[in-house]
Structure 1
C-alpha cells in the first residue's frame, strides 16, 4: 500500500520527491469528478438540473438592479450589446399576484366629453317677471319683493292692499254708526280699534311676542276711556293718562334683563304704542257729528287709496273722495268737506306708516287697518271743535 494518487501521474501526493508541488510548466487540472470545466471561448453554464434560485425577497417587491434567470434558462455572462434590444423580460409562470387577482384588460383610450353649454331658456313675448316667496322671521333664501325693488331702483314700500282697506272702512263705519247711536255704542268699536293699534304697532316694529308691552298700551287706552267717561269726555284726561303711562313704560323696561340697546328700543315702542292707543280715544272726546264725518271720510279715502293707481294720483283722488264723503255726510257744508280732507290726510299718513318693506300679512291686517283711524282720532276732535 502506497500513498501515491490514482493513475500514477503527477498528483497531490509526494511522488518523485517533490513534496506535493507541481513540476514547473505543468498546467493546473481539476481532480477527476469536478463538474466545472472552463475552456477557452466556452461561456459559463450552470450544472445540468440545477436551476438558478432567486434569493427570497419581501412580497410585492422585485429586485431591479441585477438581471434574473428563470427556470429552464441558463445564465450567459457573454457580453452582447444587442441583448437589450432582442429580448424583453416576460412573466411566463403563475405568481402570487396573478393567482389572487383577475387579469386587467388594457384600458381603452379616454376621450374627454365635449363641454355641454346650457341653452338659454326661451323668453316669452311678455317677459313675465318671476314670483318671489314672502319673507319670514326665520329667513328666506329667495329675494323678497322689497330687495328686488331696491335693486331695480324702485320704492321698497309694500302697501297693505284692498282687503285691509275694506276692514278699515268697515271699522270706520262702525265708529260713525256708534257715534250716531250714543256714547256707549261708540265705545265698543273704539276699544277694538285701540287693541288692534297696540298689537299692530309692536308687530310693525318686529317685536313679537311682546305681551306685557301690548297689554300695558291697551290698558292705558282703557284707563283713558274710563277717565273720559267719568269726566264727561274731557280731553285733558288723555294728556294725563299719557304722562302716567310713559312713566310705567319706563319702569317696565328698567326691570328687563335685555341689553341696553334692546331695552331702549322696547321703551320707545311701548311708549308709542300706548300713545297711539290712547290718542285714538279722541273719537270719544269729539262731538258725534264730527266723529261721523271724520270716520266716513277715512273709510272712503282708504278704499280709494287701495285702487291700482299711481301713488301721487291715488293720494290726490283719495283726499278728494274724503272731502266729498264729508260734504255729503256733514249736511252739504264746506266745513264738513274740510274736516273730511283733514281726517283723510292724517289717515294717509297712518297708511304710509303701515306700508313698509317687510311683507307680513299680520302687520297689514293689524297696523294697516288700525293706524289710519288711530292717527285721525285727535284731528277729528280738533277740527270738530274748530268748525263747531
Structure 2
C-alpha cells in the first residue's frame, strides 16, 4: 500500500540534498578561499591607511561593494539589484561626507548619511509588489546592508586620526581570518584571536603606536571572528556565502577601530 501525504495522494517528496545537515546546524564556515581574499584586502588596507583617508578610499569602496552584495546573498536574496545598489550608494555617500567634513563632525556625518538612506530604503519598499512577508524581509535586508556598508566608512574616519591604527587593525583581521579557516574549530578560534594580538605586537614595533597597537590588533582579530560567525550562517541558502565571508571580517572591524582611535589617540 502506497504512502500518501494528503487527499491528493501525492508521494512524500524526498529530502533535499543537504537538508539533514542544515537541520542540525545552519552554520557553515566560509572556508579558506574567502579567508585568503580577506587577507589580501586587509593587506591593501594596511598598506594604504598610513597615507591618509584619500589613499585608503579605493580599498574601502571595494570593501563596501562586497559588503552590500554579500549581505543580500547571506539573506537568501541574491540578486537584489536595487537593494544592493542603494546600500552601496549609501556607503559612497558616507565616504564623501567623511572626506569633506572636519574630524569633530565625522560622527554626525555618518549618522546623517544613515538617516537619509534609511528614508530612501523605506521609499524603495513602497514600490515592492510582493507579499507582506517578502516586503518585511526586503526591508530588513536592505536596512542592514545599508547600515553595514555605511559603517565600513568608519575606516576612513579612523585613518584621519591614525592611519597606522587602521593598518594594525586590518592586519589583525586578515591574520585572524586565515587562521580561523583551519579545519580545527576550537583550536582555530584560539589561534585566530592570538593572531590578532600577534599582529598588534608586530605593529607595536613597526608603527610607533606603542602598547596601543595590541588593542588595535586584538580588536581586528575579534572583529574577524565575529564577522566570520555571521558569514557562516547558511540558511536558507544551501551554499556557503563567499562574498559575505570576504567582507564581514573587515567590515566588522570598522566599528571597533574608530572609537578605539578616538579614545586612545585623538
TM range (shorter): 0.7 to 0.9
Deviation of the 1:359 alpha carbon: 4.3
- How many Å separate the matches in 2 of 1:359 and 1:259? 24
Tell me how far apart the structure 2 counterparts of residues 223 and 148 of structure 1 sit (CA, whole Å).
41
Q: Is 2:201 aligned against 1:327?
A: yes
Partner of 1:148: 21
Q: Is the 8 A contact 1:280 1:374 kept in 2?
A: yes
Distance 2:152 2:193 in 1: 21
- The CA distance in 2 between the partners of 1:324 and 1:344, in whole Å, is 9
Query: In angstroms, what is the RMSD of aligned CA positions?
Result: 1.9
**Aligned residue in 2 for 1:293:** 168
Paired residue for 2:36? 166
SS in structure 1 opposite 2:253? helix
Match of 1:355 in 2: 232
Q: List gaps (5 residues or longer) in structure 1.
A: 1-139
* Aligned with 1:178 (options 48, 72, 75): 48
Measured after TM superposition, the shift of residue 316 of structure 1 is: 1.6
Distance across 1 between alignment mates of 2:197 and 2:110: 28
Measure how far apart 1:281 and its partner are.
0.5
* Counterpart Cα distance in 1 of 2:204 and 2:124: 44
Larger relative contact order (Cα-Cα within 8 Å, sequence gap ≥ 6):
2
Q: Secondary structure at the match of 1:330?
A: helix
| 1:304, distance to aligned residue in structure 2 (A) | 0.8
1:306 alignment partner in structure 2: 181
Superposed CA deviations along residues 237-282 of structure 1, whole A, max 9, x for unmatched, are 1111111111110111012111112111111110000000000001
Residue 141 (structure 1) shift: 6.2
Distance 2:22 2:115 in 1: 41
Q: State how many pairs are aligned.
A: 243
CA contact (8 A) 2:169 2:217 kept: yes
Paired residues for 1:39-50 under 5 Å: none
Q: Residues 347 and 372 of structure 1 are in contact (CA less than 8 Å); yes or no, is this contact kept in structure 2?
A: yes
CA distance in 1, matches of 2:109, 2:232: 31
- Correspondence 1:30-45 to 2 at 5 A: none
- Tell me by how many angstroms 1:226 deviates: 0.4
User: Counterpart of 1:235 in 2: which secondary structure?
Assistant: helix
Name the residue aligned to 2:258.
381
Shift of 1:335: 2.0
Q: Distance in 2 between matches of 1:149 and 1:259?
A: 26
Does residue 232 in structure 1 map to residue 74 in structure 2? no
Kindly indicate whether the alpha-carbon contact (under 8 Å) linking 1:300 and 1:321 is maintained by their aligned counterparts in 2: yes
Greater share of helix: 2
Structure 2 gap ranges (5+): 1-13
1:248 pairs with one of 92, 95, 120: 120
Aligned counterpart, 2:6: none
TM-score normalised according to structure 2 size: 0.86
d(CA) in 2 for partners of 1:148, 1:281: 37
Alignment of 1:206 with 2:83, yes or no, is no
Contact in 2 for aligned 1:147/1:156 (Cα 8 Å): no
